[in-house]
Amino acid sequence: MRLAGWMVRGSGWLRRLGAGLAACLLAGASLGAGAQALPPELQKAWRATKLPLSSLSLEIREAGGPVIARVQADEPRNPASVMKTVTTWTALSALGPDYVWRTRFLSDPGARVDEQGTLQGPLYVQAAGDPWFRQEDLWNMLRELRLRGVKNLSEVIVDRSRFGDVAIDPGDFDDSPDRPYNASPDAMMVNFGATRVVFLPDAKSRQWIPLLDPPTRDVRVEGRLEWLDGACKGSPVVAADVRPEGPQSVIRVSGKAVGECGEFSVYRLAGNQGDHFEALFRLLWRELGGTLSRGIRDGRAPARAATLAWHDSPSLADVIRQINKYSNNVMARMTLLTLGAELNGPGATPDSGGRAVRQILKNQGVDTAGWVLDNGSGLSRQGRITARGLAQMLDAAWRSPLMPEFVSSLAISGVDGTVRRRLRSEDTRGQAHLKTGTLRDSRALAGYVRGASGKRYILVSLVNNPGAAAVRPFDDALVEWLAAR
């Protein structure tokens, strides 16, 4: 008789039945066609994790073909950053790879620039929700204003209406409000809202000189790093903690660094997104010789405002590579909000973005029962997906004309992104495109593996357990097993 892929015969049937049936029962998997338990080749690797099989959801299938293995694939689990594949695929399929975010400088209809370079009326900044808007992009837009003869501004009004009230407390998730991965989304985000502390080596005085970028009056650095002699054996590890002091933020630094390592930087959130934008706008405008007589505030641009300058982001195909390969949380949040704005109108929220995702996946035949789509990044304790549903989505992506753009956004095993130091053997390096997920009590891996036969396999592994970190060797074994098929 056959039982979920094992041959049972003769007097040894009890020994074989024990391993196979126990795995099926613990996994809650049916013994019917298309529902199999953990393949025998992987059971040893799973046992080595010392995790209960009840903590695993797994689906492995041929791309465009049958299911190979399925373990509790309908159990909703926290996918950590693997959630980003859902956000990026639905955005790519709905908006297209050439979609761009356009940030605009506007003026009142008919407003003129006088002989002294004064713009009549306010300068409106129409925020696009660009997830990759950088300091140099803002500088270029301001420079375009100067080229058009604008020198003096009375007031700057920032129109953030594309998104609704989406600000978050950066300390809510893990009580680390100064870490850039916790950055709040904002329709007018620059450099992810992060301040850079540059440490310059002064070998003559044996000191590290800290510089702030951008330098603002509301942020200062205190403390010092100890100078060490010797060979540089890796990136310096320093402490840089932000604490508020009235209206200012203080970045307190400490630690040791080898002078031979040379200049290095750390990034911290030293204020909210609005304050960061205002400080940077004022600094760059002043450096370009501009003046601002009043201030910067939020508001709405007139419906028929005239465009003075604009900036187009990189294409969505390029943006999702940054999100997936390097697991950028705030860029994923911004992409989900953009999806909500495009499909459900301005004033986008995570809820409107989630509704857009569900509708797109429904149209693609993906089962999202039990899913919880809260912010699109996976930096969440509440987010949930199923292994079966995610495998369906990855299969739909594989069969889509947009497959090359999506697959190329994933990290390549042993080569780049979050798996550059994993799966580096001759048999696995470059053979898989993967997205990893890491949270306390949660580990996930999903993507595509090229087998030795030339077939492509879809892999989804989700583990929720206090000891979830132990699953990494098992996930690597999964990829190795598929790469050898």
What is the per-residue pLDDT for 86?
A: 98
Looking at every residue in the chain, the average pLDDT score rounds to 92
pLDDT greater than 50 at residue 213: yes
pLDDT greater than 80 at residue 13: no
For the stretch 436-455, pLDDT in tens is: 999 999 999 999 999 999 99
What is the per-residue pLDDT for 217?
A: 83
DSSP 399: T
What is the distance of C-alpha 420 from the center of its chain?
Answer: 17
pLDDT greater than 70 at residue 91: yes
Separation CA 225–CA 208 (nearest Å)? 6
pLDDT confidence tier of residue 210, bands split at 50, 70 and 90: very high
Please give the model's pTM, rounded to 2 decimal places: 0.90
Nearest one of 442, 189, 158 to 332, comparing CA atoms: 189
**Of the candidate ranges 3-17, 256-270, 450-464, the one whose mean pLDDT is the lowest:** 3-17
Mean pLDDT of 406-412: 98
Residue 71, judged by CB atoms within 10 A of its CB (0-12, 13-18, 19+), counts as buried
Mean pLDDT of 390-407: 98
Please state, for a pLDDT cut of 70, what percent of the chain lies above it: 93
Which positions ≥6 away from 47 have C-beta within 8 Å?
Answer: none
pLDDT confidence tier of residue 247, bands split at 50, 70 and 90: confident
Other beta carbons within 10 angstroms of residue 224's beta carbon come to: 13
pLDDT confidence tier of residue 241, bands split at 50, 70 and 90: very high
Separation CA 347–CA 236 (nearest Å)? 42
Other beta carbons within 10 angstroms of residue 64's beta carbon come to: 12
Nearest one of 223, 269, 219 to 247, comparing CA atoms: 219
Tokens (6 digits) for 57: 């959801």
Separation CA 149–CA 140 (nearest Å)? 15
pLDDT greater than 70 at residue 110: yes
pLDDT confidence tier of residue 216, bands split at 50, 70 and 90: confident
Separation CA 239–CA 419 (nearest Å)? 26
Stronger pLDDT, 90 or 248, i.e. the higher one: 90
pLDDT greater than 60 at residue 32: no
For the stretch 344-378, pLDDT in tens is: 999 999 999 999 999 999 999 999 999 999 999 99
pLDDT confidence tier of residue 34, bands split at 50, 70 and 90: very low
Nearest one of 153, 159, 101 to 130, comparing CA atoms: 101
pLDDT confidence tier of residue 36, bands split at 50, 70 and 90: low
pLDDT greater than 60 at residue 22: no
pLDDT greater than 70 at residue 33: no
What is the per-residue pLDDT for 235?
A: 87
Tokens (6 digits) for 28: 């809650």
Nearest one of 325, 440, 316 to 84, comparing CA atoms: 325
For the stretch 286-299, pLDDT in tens is: 999 999 999 999 99
Separation CA 382–CA 100 (nearest Å)? 30
Separation CA 366–CA 425 (nearest Å)? 34
pLDDT greater than 50 at residue 23: no
Contact 365, 404 (CB under 8 A): no
Vertex 419: Cα angle to 417 and 420 (nearest 5): 70
Mean pLDDT of 4-9: 31
pLDDT greater than 80 at residue 31: no
pLDDT confidence tier of residue 422, bands split at 50, 70 and 90: very high
Mean pLDDT of 408-419: 98
Question: What phi and psi, each to the nearest 5 degrees, are found at residue 10?
Answer: 70, -165
